[in-house]
Chains A and B, each alone.
Chain A
Amino acid sequence: MSDKILFEIKNLSKSFDKLDVLNNISTEIREGEVVVIVGPSGSGKSTFLRSLNLLETPTSGTIEFEGTPITDKKVNIDEYRQKIGMVFQHFNLFPHMTILKNMTIGPVKLLKMDEEDAKKEAMALLERIGLEDKANAYPSQLSGGQKQRVAIVRALCMHPEVMLFDEPTSALDPEMVGEVLEVMRELAKDGMTMVIVTHEMGFAKEVATRVLFVDEGQIKEENTPDLFFGKPQNERLKEFLSKVL
Chain B
Amino acid sequence: MTFKEKLIQNFIEEERYKLIFKGLENTLIITLFAVLLGILLGFLVATIRSTYSKTGKLFILDRICWIYITVIRGTPMIVQLLIMYYVIFASYNSKIVVAILAFGINSGAYVSEIVRSGIMAVDAGQFEAGRSLGFSYAQTMIYIILPQAFKNILPALANEFIVLLKETSVAGYIGLTDLTHAGDIIRSRTYEALIPLLAVAVIYLIMVAGLSYLVGLWERRLRASER
Residues of A participating in the B interface, judged by any CB pair closer than 8 Å: 53, 55, 78-79, 81-82, 84-86, 88, 90, 92-98, 105-106, 109-110, 138, 140-141, 154-155, 158
29 contacts between A and B (CB under 8 A): A53-B132, A55-B128, A55-B131, A78-B131, A78-B134, A81-B132, A82-B133, A86-B129, A90-B125, A92-B123, A92-B125, A92-B128, A94-B129, A94-B144, A95-B148, A95-B226, A96-B147, A106-B133, A106-B134, A106-B135, A109-B139, A109-B143, A110-B133, A138-B224, A138-B225, A138-B227, A141-B227, A155-B132, A158-B133
In the complex, the number of residue pairs spanning A and B with C-beta atoms less than 8 Å apart equals 67
State whether A88 and B143 are in contact (beta carbons under 8 Å apart), knowing that A78-B135, A138-B226 are contacts in the complex. no
- Asked if B190 is an interface residue, CB under 8 A from chain A, the answer is no
- Asked if B136 is an interface residue, CB under 8 A from chain A, the answer is yes
- Asked if B126 is an interface residue, CB under 8 A from chain A, the answer is yes
B103-131 to A contact mask, C-beta < 8 Å, 1/0:
00000000000000000000101101111
- State the Cβ distance, A15 to closest chain B Cβ, in Å: 17
Closest residue of chain A to B134 (Cβ to Cβ) is: A82
A78 to B133 CA separation, bound complex (whole angstroms) = 8
Total chain B interface residues with beta-carbon distance under 8 A: 22
Tell me if B125 and A88 are in contact (CB < 8 A): yes
A85 to B144 CA separation, bound complex (whole angstroms) = 18
- Asked if B151 is an interface residue, CB under 8 A from chain A, the answer is yes
Other A-B contacts than A78-B136, A81-B131, 15 sampled, CB-CB below 8 A, are A82-B134, A86-B132, A88-B125, A88-B128, A92-B125, A94-B129, A94-B148, A95-B225, A95-B226, A96-B225, A98-B225, A106-B135, A109-B139, A109-B143, A155-B133
**Inside 8 A of B148's CB, which chain A residues have their CB?**
94-96
Tell me if A92 and B133 are in contact (CB < 8 A): no
- State the Cβ distance, B8 to closest chain A Cβ, in Å: 54
Instruction: Tell which of A81, A85, A92, A158 has the most Cβ of chain B within 10 Å.
Output: A92
A105 to B140 CA separation, bound complex (whole angstroms) = 11
Instruction: Tell which of A55, A93, A94, A140 has the most Cβ of chain B within 10 Å.
Output: A94
B81-122 to A contact mask, C-beta < 8 Å, 1/0:
000000000000000000000000000000000000000000
- State the Cβ distance, B36 to closest chain A Cβ, in Å: 23
Which 3 residue pairs spanning A and B have beta carbons closest together? Answer: A82-B134, A92-B129, A86-B132
A95 to B226 CA separation, bound complex (whole angstroms) = 8
Contact partner of A140 (CB less than 8 A), chosen from B126, B139, B147, B227, is B227
A94 to B127 CA separation, bound complex (whole angstroms) = 10
Tell me if B143 and A105 are in contact (CB < 8 A): yes
- State the Cβ distance, B173 to closest chain A Cβ, in Å: 42
Contact partner of B225 (CB less than 8 A), chosen from A55, A82, A84, A140, is A140
- 8 Å CB interface, B192-208 against A: none
Instruction: Tell which of B126, B132, B147, B151 has the most Cβ of chain A within 10 Å.
Output: B132
Tell me if A79 and B128 are in contact (CB < 8 A): no
B18-31 to A contact mask, C-beta < 8 Å, 1/0:
00000000000000
A93 to B139 CA separation, bound complex (whole angstroms) = 16
**Inside 8 A of A93's CB, which chain B residues have their CB?**
129
**Inside 8 A of A88's CB, which chain B residues have their CB?**
125, 128-129, 132
A56 to B125 CA separation, bound complex (whole angstroms) = 13
Closest residue of chain A to B140 (Cβ to Cβ) is: A78
Closest residue of chain B to A95 (Cβ to Cβ) is: B225
- State the Cβ distance, B95 to closest chain A Cβ, in Å: 41
B136-153 to A contact mask, C-beta < 8 Å, 1/0:
100100011001100100
- 8 Å CB interface, B30-64 against A: none
A90 to B126 CA separation, bound complex (whole angstroms) = 10
A140 to B224 CA separation, bound complex (whole angstroms) = 10
- 8 Å CB interface, B146-169 against A: 147-148, 151
- State the Cβ distance, B15 to closest chain A Cβ, in Å: 51
Closest residue of chain A to B147 (Cβ to Cβ) is: A96
Closest residue of chain B to A84 (Cβ to Cβ) is: B132
Instruction: Tell which of B123, B133, B135 has the most Cβ of chain A within 10 Å.
Output: B133
- State the Cβ distance, A39 to closest chain B Cβ, in Å: 21
**Inside 8 A of A96's CB, which chain B residues have their CB?**
147-148, 151, 225
